[in-house]
């Protein structure tokens, strides 16, 4: 019995001296002092001793238990106060760990800039579905069935009547059908084209559609608005030109080019948008009296605008999600 007590005291002492963590103190407390701990076990052993040995060992055990308890509490207190101290030793002047925050995608930044400019001109922002019907994408915009104009845009058909919209113009028709003029709307969104992927074209890109319908809207207002817009976005000295073009839903129609001058290379014109006066047939088809109202519309490409402004020469890079590219903006 005596040997057993001595052994336990010895073990206890070496364990408590090496306790360096809160958990270890808990472990020791459990191992020695809990109801099924080593000391409780010793008290169990007492029962097997003879009558005259019992009081002697009982006393010794009680004394040992109290001493070990006191040692334990002393070490624990010592440990706790040291640790408190070390938390005051923190150097609060050290710089914190660097957090890597994401940034807005450059296409989103361009979109925000474009929205801001048109909001300043009194345009409101709308959206429409990307999964669109043939009816809104083509028919309501004066693309007759089987008309070759449909081939201008290679379409991803989902079935006979539904497709991924090839432009944001179907939302023009939706707005005309649901809203009484005046309508002054900007409609940003994704569009899809089934084209061969190259540096110049991707199967997915972003447009911002514009639509203004009111009494006596003129072509001069259209050009005035777009020139103002180009100067706001590219700067006062931007070189632009309006080039006659064709769209089934506008008449007359035009495209706007911006002069692209990479450093040390020969410059060229790059198209950024299509526009025109809303064709009276389109107004009528969508329930607006073309005797009373006129309107203009335009659709510009967000990727193109961004590529021109920042000198990016491959559209695919926007969709690669390469951080080395994205971090530059
Ligand atoms: N929807 C046309 C396109 O994607 C652009 C456009 C919009 C042209 C509005 C005229 C008016 O090419």
pLDDT of amino acid 86: 62
DSSP 254-300: EEEEEEE--TTS--EEEEEEEEEEEPHHHHHHTT--TTT-EEEEEEE
Residue nearest atom 4 of ligand 1, based on CA coordinates: 167
Fold classification of 106-326 (topology level): BirA Bifunctional Protein; domain 2 (3.30.930)
Cα four-point dihedral sign 280, 281, 285, 291: positive
Atom of ligand 1 nearest to the CA of 169: 1
Residues 6+ apart with CB under 8 A from 178: none
Residue 85 predicted with pLDDT over 80 = no
Mean pLDDT of 126-143: 96
Residue 262 predicted with pLDDT over 80 = no
For a pocket test of ligand 1, which of 150, 169, 282 has the largest count of ligand atoms closer than 8 A to its C-beta? 169
For a pocket test of ligand 1, which of 217, 271, 274 has the largest count of ligand atoms closer than 8 A to its C-beta? 274
pLDDT of amino acid 115: 97
Query: At 87, is the pLDDT very low, low, confident or very high (cuts 50, 70, 90)?
Result: low
Mean pLDDT of 92-103: 84
Residues with CB under 6 A from ligand 1: 167, 169, 247, 250, 274-276, 297-299
pTM: 0.71
Atom of ligand 1 nearest to the CA of 211: 9
pLDDT of amino acid 207: 98
Distance 105 CA to ligand 1 centre (A): 24
Token pair recorded at residue 84? 């408190």
**Are the CB atoms for 197 and 203 separated by under 8 Å?**
yes
pLDDT of amino acid 152: 62
Query: At 82, is the pLDDT very low, low, confident or very high (cuts 50, 70, 90)?
Result: confident
Collapse the DSSP code of 70 into the 3-class scheme (helix H, G, I; strand E, B; otherwise coil) and give the result. Answer: helix
């Amino acid at each position: 019995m005596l040997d057993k007590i001595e052994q336990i005291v010895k073990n206890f002492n070496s364990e408590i001296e090496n306790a360096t963590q809160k958990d270890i103190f808990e472990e020791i407390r459990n191992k020695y002092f809990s109801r099924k701990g080593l000391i409780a076990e010793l008290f169990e052993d007492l029962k097997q001793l003879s009558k005259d040995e019992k009081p002697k060992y009982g006393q010794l055990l009680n004394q040992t238990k109290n001493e070990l308890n006191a040692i334990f509490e002393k070490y624990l207190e010592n440990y706790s106060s040291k640790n408190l101290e070390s938390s005051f030793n923190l150097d609060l002047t050290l710089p914190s760990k660097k957090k890597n925050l994401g940034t807005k995608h450059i296409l989103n930044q361009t979109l925000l800039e474009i929205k801001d400019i048109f909001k300043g001109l009194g345009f409101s922002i709308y959206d429409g579905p990307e999964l669109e019907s043939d009816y809104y994408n083509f028919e309501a915009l004066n693309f007759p069935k089987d008309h070759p104009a449909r081939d201008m845009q290679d379409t991803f058909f989902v079935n006979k009547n539904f497709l991924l919209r090839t432009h944001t113009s179907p939302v023009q028709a939706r707005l005309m059908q649901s809203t009484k003029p005046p309508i002054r709307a900007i409609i940003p969104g994704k569009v899809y084209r089934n084209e061969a992927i190259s540096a110049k074209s991707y199967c997915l890109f972003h447009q911002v559609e514009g639509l203004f319908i009111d009494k006596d809207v003129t072509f001069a207002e259209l050009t005035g608005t777009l020139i103002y817009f180009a100067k706001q976005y590219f700067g006062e000295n931007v070189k632009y030109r309006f080039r006659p073009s064709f769209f089934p839903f506008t008449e007359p129609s035009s495209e706007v080019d911006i002069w692209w001058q990479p450093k040390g290379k020969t410059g060229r014109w790059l198209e950024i948008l299509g526009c025109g006066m809303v064709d009276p047939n389109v107004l009528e088809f969508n329930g607006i009296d073309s005797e009373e109202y006129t309107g203009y519309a335009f659709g510009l490409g967000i990727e193109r605008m961004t590529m021109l402004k920042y000198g990016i020469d491959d559209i695919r890079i926007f969709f690669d999600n390469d951080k080395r590219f994205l971090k530059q903006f």
